[in-house]
Structure 1
Amino acid sequence: MIRILLIGLWICAVALGSLYVAVWQNSATAAVGSEAIEILDDGKTDVFSVPIIIDNAVQGYVVSQLAYTLDHGVNASFGIPVSYFINDEIFRQFYGHYSDVKEVQKVNFDDVRKAIIDGVNARFPQPLVKDLLVEQFNYITAQEIRDQNTKGVKRQ
């Protein structure tokens, strides 16, 4: 009988000891982790198109929609929607910068993404935009749009 009682006490002591160690280790990790966790806000821009004008004629459109992550602390201090600034930077990146349609079709989005993030963050006293993700990023030629609009219409 005493033997069973001692085994039961031993099991309780081991269980309580392991519980104490687990709670102590978790609280130490949470204290360090709470300083390292960064709170982010997210959102996305509306579908946005930029006309590509070459030789005084519209040759096509860059159509984009981007998702973004923002630093929560910096975002909370400003009441302005960031999507306006991102759309403006997209427009600045593409409008009037190309002399050939083939250049537009070979755009490296990583370079564009970095330029947009840097351009938006330059407008704020602290970096706001953390990352941009692609929802939609296409180049559509003016001829494709004309063909789509005249589909099913007989030409005379």
Structure 2
Amino acid sequence: MLKLVFVGVWVCAVTLGSVYYSMQQASAPVVSDADAERKALQEYVPGELITVPVITDGAVQGYFLTKLSFAVDKNKIKTLHVPLKESVTSALYDILVGQRLINVADTSNFDLANFKTKVKEGLNKDFEDEIIFEVLVEQLEYLSKADVARLANAPNEPKQRPVAIIDKNGNTAQDELPGKEAAAH
């Protein structure tokens, strides 16, 4: 019985010592002046769900469902002539339909980081200024034309969920806006 008490005290001492040591070694992340200035100018703008048709051989084959949010320069966004949401919709049509960054038949070559970069660069090019700092992809899914028809014609069938698009690195689009989890509590 005495051995068990000594083992318990020993485990507690080692645990407390390791926690104390790790807290002493932990340091706050170093933030450069440029990063601090950018964070002060930054504001997160939630996006809305956008449906973009996938057109192949002159016919609609399915639909991308996407919801993007953005880290923007809060001073520059006030000077825009076209609202951000409308500009984003136009850019997404150009990127998803015109540039065909996502091949629905073979998503193994899809690169989520490249997609975010292309959207950011495309929007900043349209705005002729660096207004978008970061693109957050909250949802990027695909529904085939057959899925849409089945959902529309069969209300008693179990609902099918859209297929999440997974990039070549195995990442799915599940970014969350900073501060969103704090608002949920």
Q: Deviations along 1:15-51, whole A, 9 cap, x unmatched?
A: xxxxxxxxxxxxxxxxx96993322122122211111
Alignment partner of 1:82 is 2:91? no
Q: Name the one with the larger helix percent.
A: 1
2:76 is paired with a residue of what secondary structure?
helix
Unpaired runs of 5+ in structure 2? 1-31, 157-185
Q: Aligned letter for 1:36?
A: A
* Deviation of 1:52 (Å): 0.7
Q: 1:67 aligns with which of 66, 69, 81?
A: 69
**Alignment coverage as a number of residue pairs:** 123
Aligned to 1:132, which of 122, 135, 147?
135
| Structure 1 gap segments, 5+ residues each | 1-31
52, 56, 59: which is aligned to 1:57? 59
CA drift at 1:81: 2.2
The one-letter code matched in structure 1 to 2:87 is: F
Higher relative CO (CA 8 A, sep ≥ 6), structure 1 or 2? 1
Q: Is the 8 A contact 2:64 2:140 kept in 1?
A: yes
User: TM-score, normalised to structure 2's length?
Assistant: 0.56
Identity %: 19
Larger radius of gyration: 1
1:114 is aligned to 2:117: yes
| 1:147 Cα deviation after fit | 1.1
Shift of 1:151: 1.6
Describe the shift of the 1:34–1:48 C-alpha distance in structure 2 as closer, same or farther (beyond 3 A): closer
> Are 1:68 and 1:132, in contact at CA under 8 Å, matched by a contact in 2?
yes
Give the RMSD, CA atoms, in angstroms. Answer: 3.0
